[in-house]
């Protein structure tokens, strides 16, 4: 992905991953964070953002707040703006467990979060049908899967490409305003 000078790209829930060309936002301060705030309370106005990227952060939002957040992000996007979301794919994780390709101990963090600090708990699980319905109900269109290596800059990696038992465990979806 090329640098986007003059564009407002927001990386929500950046954690310890600084994404070049983005304003990196997280609730916890780190060397990678440009803006420290809860991702449900980001200070951007309507139609001011070109692109949002959320990698393994949407599942940290309580169930009743997910659509509220996505509607808010939709309103912040400029016309034709995009959102890229990566979440643990419950269908893949369940398949790994039920096929005995991965024990529960190897997938439990992807399902429930690491829980080693406040805020690192997963409130929601997603599959393609549920996430598509929530995005559609929040006003997004053109909803489709994306390949992280086609979106992320060369040399950048995060949990969107994480594998367990040789299987990619992330559901990577993009959508447009």
Task: Report, as an integer, the average pLDDT of 108-118.
Answer: 90
* Cross-strand pairs, 126: 89
Calpha distance 15→7 (Å, rounded) = 22
What is the reported pLDDT for 90? Answer: 97
Confidence of residue 2 (pLDDT cuts 50, 70, 90): very low
The residue to which tokens 């643990």 are assigned:
88
- pLDDT averaged over every residue in the chain: 93
pLDDT in tens, 4-36: 445 699 999 999 999 999 999 999 999 999 999
Residue 71: Cβ-neighbour burial (10 angstroms; 0-12, 13-18, 19+): middle
pTM for this model (two decimals)? 0.93
Q: How confident is the model at residue 64, as a pLDDT?
A: 93
The fold for domain 9-88+117-162+170-176 equals Rossmann fold (3.40.50)
**pLDDT at residue number 1:** 36
Per-residue pLDDT tens over the stretch 29-51: 999 999 999 999 999 999 999 99
Question: For the chain, percent helix, then strand, then coil, each to nearest 5?
Answer: 30, 25, 40
Mean predicted confidence (pLDDT) in 83-101: 97
List the domain boundaries for the chain. 9-88+117-162+170-176
């Amino acid at each position: 992905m090329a640098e986007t000078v003059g564009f407002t790209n927001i990386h929500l829930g950046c954690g310890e991953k600084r994404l070049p060309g983005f304003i990196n936002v997280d609730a916890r301060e780190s060397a990678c964070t440009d803006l420290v705030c809860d991702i449900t309370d980001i200070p951007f106005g309507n139609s001011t953002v070109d692109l949002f990227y959320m990698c393994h952060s949407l599942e940290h939002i309580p169930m009743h707040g997910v659509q509220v957040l996505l509607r808010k992000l939709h309103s912040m996007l400029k016309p034709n703006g995009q959102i890229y979301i990566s979440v643990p794919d419950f269908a893949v994780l369940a398949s790994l467990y039920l096929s005995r390709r991965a024990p529960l101990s190897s997938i439990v963090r992807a399902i429930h979060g690491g829980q080693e600090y406040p805020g690192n708990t997963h409130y929601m699980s997603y599959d393609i049908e549920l996430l598509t319905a929530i995005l559609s109900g929040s006003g997004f269109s053109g909803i489709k899967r994306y390949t992280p290596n086609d979106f992320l800059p060369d040399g950048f990696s995060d949990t969107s490409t994480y594998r367990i038992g040789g299987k990619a465990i992330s559901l990577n979806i993009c959508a447009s305003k």
